[in-house]
Amino acid sequence: MDSRSAAHLLHEIVALLELQGEDPAVPAPFADAARALAAADAAPLGEVLRDKRRFAPEVVEVLEELKADGESTLLDRLRESTPEGLFEMMRVPGLGPSRIRRIHEGLGLDTLQELEAAARDGRLAKLPRFGARTAEQVLRGIAWLKESGAQVLLPHGRAEAERLLAAVRRQPGVVRAEVAGAVRRHCETVREVELVAACAREPEAVAAALARAPGVRDSVGSGTRQVSIRYDDGIRLILHCVPAEQFVVTWFRATGSEAHVQEVASRAARRGLTLESHHLRRADGGAVEVADEPALYAAIGLPWLPPELREGLGEVADGPLRRLLEAADLRGALHCHSQYSDGGATIAELAAAARARGWRYLGISDHSQSAFYSGGLTVESLKRQHEEIDAINASFPDFRVLKGVEADILPDGRIDYPVEVLDTFDYVIASVHSRLGMDEAQMTERVLTAMEDPHMAVLGHPTGRLLLTREPYAIDMEAVLARAGALGVAVELNADPHRLDLDWRQAMRARAHGARIAIGPDAHSVDGLENITLGLGMARKAHLGPADVLNTLDTDALVAFAARRRIARASA
């Protein structure tokens, strides 16, 4: 690694230290070193470290690590102990780490969507040392992100779509309006909102009126049925206004990917039909009337395909569609953090919320001891936690709290905690939280080694990605999924909106290898349990059915799944 690259990582350390509220004296030496290294030529770190006296000892320690293997233990710790949503906020121009920390601590905000709402409704302005001007500056920064074409996470895009949809439905002449595009297909990130409106009067007039509505900065396509509108807050809307009889075909076309629409059009052509922009036509030119999307697909000889499947990846096929996972199939969830580590709710609160959802169990999987930066549990803390879980279970005849853990996969592939401690859990989720910069061969071997441990029931967030802020670490996922299928280790689809890891495309590969998927909310609060809904959509997008998903098992079957390799090893 050279000095310029090291300077970039030191700047990140400074930002994360400030974000976590460290005394200014703590990040200061890292900031000084970063400036010095950035100003120098891109010299090898070995040369830089010939004169260590110009750096503070803690900086030298980091630079020595970077020189040896390109990684920093301190940086890994800071990245993993920082809530994912705060990284998202750092993309907003003019919003530095210290302000983000005060927002997070003062209002409990974790996402860009929540930040924008607080800036609009006055909560942000009421924070000490903020005020209306700062709130307006934050809104301008978020608007700049949107205007620049930056993508947002699905929940944010969905909220924007629902807000704009309500406005379109209020417009005179609109008899029906629906969400289309990436939001309807349940894509992980969204660049723009797409809506389709059926109109009882001239569609061009309706589109023009919406393009002139308050809050519109500019528009393209005025005078036509399709307009692209940019609002003052940076949101981009593609709006299709059509007569009611053209709504179904237009909605279908505006929803599916280009590849999917082309596949369906090709199937229509085999039947002598032509799928145009707004009509399905017979060979004689007459329009085929279709009352809804199922009727459209049926006219072409296909089963109706749920919107989340319409990606052009082979979903257009003969024969009935396999049954996809539904919310009612889920019996519970395993990836949840309580106040014992870095969660914000008690075990009793989480259990009550899960029981209210109709679940039969909830797994508590706080961090293991090596993740001390996230409140990882000591052996003594685990004993107290397990006693508390036993007491809660005694009061619930129809519900069970499971004793789990999210244990670190250590750099050498061992799973955190000794065997006798791992034996006390109902299940173990094992995840990588450190040394993310390993090369592909090293990381793959690390994870494959961990999977051989019979205690591992679930491989947690398998690629380590954070959407829009951190790329996946280098790993041969095909090899990992093949081993998971062979060993009977479930692979997590982490449903935190910042992760959605395993990627739904790789989840399709997991099914091909026979590996079960565990949909984990990665909840750090009661509200975080709702992440399961995002995970459900991604599982459906991956064509998963109930038999493919671990948390469709009942309580006894799930515990047996987690224990079977340990039992087999003990009896061998």
Decide if pLDDT at 69 tops 90: no
Whole-number pLDDT of residue 483: 98
Residues 243-264: tens digit of each pLDDT: 999 999 999 999 999 999 999 9
Question: What is the arithmetic mean of pLDDT over 500-516?
Answer: 97
Binning pLDDT at 50, 70 and 90, where does residue 169 land? Answer: very high
Q: Report all structural domains of the chain as residue ranges with CATH numbers, in order of start.
A: 1-79 (1.10.150.110), 83-145 (1.10.150.20), 151-247 (3.30.460.10), 256-317 (3.30.210.10), 327-571 (3.20.20.140)
Question: Which residues lie below 8 Å from residue 238, measured CB to CB, with a gap of 6+?
Answer: 181, 192, 193, 194, 195, 226, 227, 228, 229, 254
Whole-number pLDDT of residue 13: 93
Residues 307-348: tens digit of each pLDDT: 999 999 989 987 788 899 999 999 999 999 999 999 999 999
Residues 394-410: tens digit of each pLDDT: 999 899 999 999 999 99
Structure-token match 């919406």, residue found: 210
**Smallest Cα–Cα separation from 91: which of 75, 107, 115?**
115
Whole-number pLDDT of residue 477: 97
With a pLDDT cut of 90, the percent of the chain lying above it is: 75
Decide if pLDDT at 446 tops 80: yes
Question: CA 270, CA 309: separation in Å to the nearest integer?
Answer: 22
Average pLDDT, the chain: 93
Question: CA 252, CA 49: separation in Å to the nearest integer?
Answer: 61
Whole-number pLDDT of residue 123: 95
Whole-number pLDDT of residue 95: 85
Of the CA atoms within 13 Å of residue 218, those in its CB half-sphere come to 2
Six-digit token pair at 153?
């996470």
Whole-number pLDDT of residue 338: 96
Whole-number pLDDT of residue 542: 97
More confidently predicted of 209 and 85:
209
Question: What is the arithmetic mean of pLDDT over 351-360?
Answer: 96
Whole-number pLDDT of residue 426: 97
Q: Which helix (H) or strand (E) is 278 found in, with range?
A: none
Decide if pLDDT at 418 tops 80: yes
Question: Which residues lie below 8 Å from residue 154, measured CB to CB, with a gap of 6+?
Answer: 183, 186, 187, 188, 189, 190, 497, 500, 534
Whole-number pLDDT of residue 319: 76
Question: What is the arithmetic mean of pLDDT over 153-163?
Answer: 94
Decide if pLDDT at 572 tops 70: no
Write the single-letter amino acid at 188. E
DSSP 423-473: TTSS-EEEE--S-TT--HHHHHHHHHHHHTSTTEEEE-STT--BTTTBPPP
Lowest mean pLDDT among 369-373, 474-478, 495-499: 369-373
Number of other CB atoms surrounding residue 2 within 10 Å: 17
Residues 536-570: tens digit of each pLDDT: 999 999 999 999 999 999 999 999 999 999 988 87
Whole-number pLDDT of residue 47: 85
More confidently predicted of 109 and 158:
158
Question: What is the arithmetic mean of pLDDT over 270-299?
Answer: 94
Question: CA 252, CA 16: separation in Å to the nearest integer?
Answer: 45
- How many residues are given for the chain? 572
Binning pLDDT at 50, 70 and 90, where does residue 571 land? Answer: confident
Question: CA 125, CA 24: separation in Å to the nearest integer?
Answer: 25
**Smallest Cα–Cα separation from 431: which of 403, 402, 410?**
410
Question: What is the arithmetic mean of pLDDT over 436-449?
Answer: 95
Decide if pLDDT at 502 tops 90: yes
